[in-house]
């Protein structure tokens, strides 16, 4: 399987990014990210990491019949850049936060671990260049 993305320069440091498989979706990338509808490339990498793991976990939650006990699921990601060029992430902390009534912490932990250790390819890519720490937080309502 291959993926394709096309970037078209629109002036200054701004690029219009399209995904041929999804012809209606356009994403604007700008290094300075000074406008409301543009995104900086490095935080987009963090969004890809979170998105990859999130869809794994929600799929596993459905299979484990956990979605009714989880009222809210969030992933908060913090990352540290190196100071020397090329600046890359060298540390990433992924916080998985589950909120609900009667959370099955054992099964939710299993879902997170399956995502991070087996299914999420973006997580594996990040491990090639950064230390990745994961934390699971349970909040009862």
**Taking 80 as the threshold, does the pLDDT of residue 36 lie above it?**
no
Q: How far apart are CA 4 and CA 96, in angstroms?
A: 30
* 56/108 Cα distance (integer angstroms): 12
Task: Please tell me the class of the 41-140 domain.
Answer: alpha beta
Angle at 34 between CA 30 and CA 36, to 5 degrees: 95
Average model confidence (pLDDT) for the chain? Answer: 93
Residue ranges per structural domain of the chain? 1-39, 41-140
Predicted local confidence at residue 21, as pLDDT:
77
Q: What is the pLDDT of residues 2-35, one digit of tens each?
A: 989 899 998 888 899 988 877 677 888 988 756 6
Is pLDDT larger for residue 22 or for residue 89? 89
């Amino acid at each position: 399987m291959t993926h394709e993305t096309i970037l078209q320069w629109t002036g200054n440091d701004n690029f219009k990014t399209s995904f041929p498989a999804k012809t209606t979706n356009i994403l604007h990338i700008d290094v300075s990210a000074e406008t409301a509808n543009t995104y900086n490339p490095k935080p987009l990498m963090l969004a890809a990491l979170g998105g990859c793991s999130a869809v794994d976990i929600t799929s596993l939650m459905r299979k484990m019949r956990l979605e009714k006990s989880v009222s809210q699921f969030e992933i908060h990601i913090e990352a540290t850049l190196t100071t020397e060029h090329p600046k890359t992430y060298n540390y990433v902390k992924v916080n998985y936060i589950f909120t609900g009534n009667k959370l099955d912490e054992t099964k939710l932990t299993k879902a997170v671990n399956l995502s991070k250790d087996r299914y999420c390819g973006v997580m594996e890519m990040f491990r090639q260049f950064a230390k990745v720490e994961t934390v699971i937080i349970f909040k009862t309502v």
